[in-house]
Amino acid sequence: MTRMDGRQSKTRLVQNAAMVWIGFMVVASVITFLVVMLAVSSQKAREAAEETPAPILATYPATYPAVTVVPDDQIAQPTRYPTPATVGLDSEFALGGQVPGFFSHVAAMHDAGMTWAKLQIKWTPETTVDQAREFVETTHQNGFKILLSIAGELYPQSIDYEGYVAYLEEVAALHPDAIEIWNEMNMDREWPTGQIDPAIYIENMLAPAYTAIKSVSPETTVIIGAPTPTGSDDDVTVWADWRYVQGLAEKGAADYADCLGIHHNSGTTSPLARSGHAWDGGDNHYSWYFLPSAELYYEKIGGRLPLCVTELGYLTPEGIEDPLPEKFGWGAGNTLAEQAAWLAEAVDLAQELGYIRMIIVWNVDFTNWGDDDPFKAYAIIRPDGTCSACSALRTALEN
């Protein structure tokens, strides 16, 4: 090796050493940078965690916000809901609402978790099947199962039983999901004076109607018309509802029905309450309270039929300018928040009990107002277009 070669070799060694040192410094700088950034990020995360409060879990029942409902005719492209795939009550608990013969708030009903709609027909011997056909088709097209309540004219002097049963057979051919056989038969408002008797109802109406309906549409659910809740009983113009239900059981009504109808629409307390009603005179009569009424009906029918609550409503005058009729004064103190909470509690309770198969909310969006019945005060969709009960019902179903 020459002197020149020696110098070149030393130069390369120095260069290589410099390159290694530079590389080491670069790597060290990168590691230092990453460590610093990680420390800063961790500090920020700790600070953010300290500033963010822990989530608070809502307790039930809660105050539900009033949802503003858009009428169906104002929705540019209304949602198309599938037609129900089966006929009759399914194994799961069913929730629905009563509408006034037409649908104005389909989306709101679905949002509330309703899968059923109830419509009522006031039958006379001249009634044709056309209205029932329209109701069944429209209800199914809107994605609901239908409960047809088929009652008669008020304060009847007589009833054409054969004509009524023949009409029900025609209606059954349309395959409605459920038919309620008459309405509040324990009072002369709906049944001829002096003829109020569960034996007469079963022999002349319920049994032949059940046979006629099932012969045409076996899957259609047959519901015994709900008695009116009352403590009055004179054996001529009115029977106490508990005695009427007991008479139904004794005369074998369970052999001709799938469900027993029940109404509760005069409450001023939680469905769980057994006392405290605004007009309770101190005897805590069951008819003022939801749970005691349900328990009594189920007991009196001998547990042989489940219950279908074909009317459940809580009246509230809040947000309505019309004065409340005097005979409905018991509901003057009810609020919208209570209406929402009590309906939701009833749905919770029904699912817990197991023997209540259906609840129909009375009502969705009626606007009628009169001394006989202030329908508008029961509506869950209020005059201002809001619905506190809609979100409450959905929550109850999802609990």
pLDDT digits over 92-115, tens only? Answer: 899 999 999 999 999 999 999 999
Q: 70 pLDDT band (50/70/90 cuts)?
A: low
Predicted confidence at residue 6, as pLDDT, reads 40
Predicted confidence at residue 13, as pLDDT, reads 41
| Mean pLDDT, rounded, of the chain | 87
Model pLDDT for residues 14-58, shown as the tens digit of each residue: 444 445 444 555 444 544 444 444 444 444 434 433 333 333 223
Complete DSSP assignment for 245-257: HHHHHHTTGGGG-
Q: Which position has the higher pLDDT, 71 or 386?
A: 386
Predicted confidence at residue 372, as pLDDT, reads 79
- As a whole number of angstroms, the distance between CA 380 and CA 316 comes to 10
- Single pTM value for the model: 0.83
Predicted confidence at residue 61, as pLDDT, reads 52
Predicted confidence at residue 65, as pLDDT, reads 65
Q: Using the predicted structure, report yes or no on whether residue 152 has a pLDDT greater than 50.
A: yes
Nearest CA to 297 among 80, 380, 288, 306? 306
Model pLDDT for residues 312-350, shown as the tens digit of each residue: 999 999 999 999 999 999 999 999 999 999 999 999 999
For 218-375, strand residue ranges (E) read 221-224, 259-264, 307-312, 356-361
- As a whole number of angstroms, the distance between CA 310 and CA 190 comes to 16
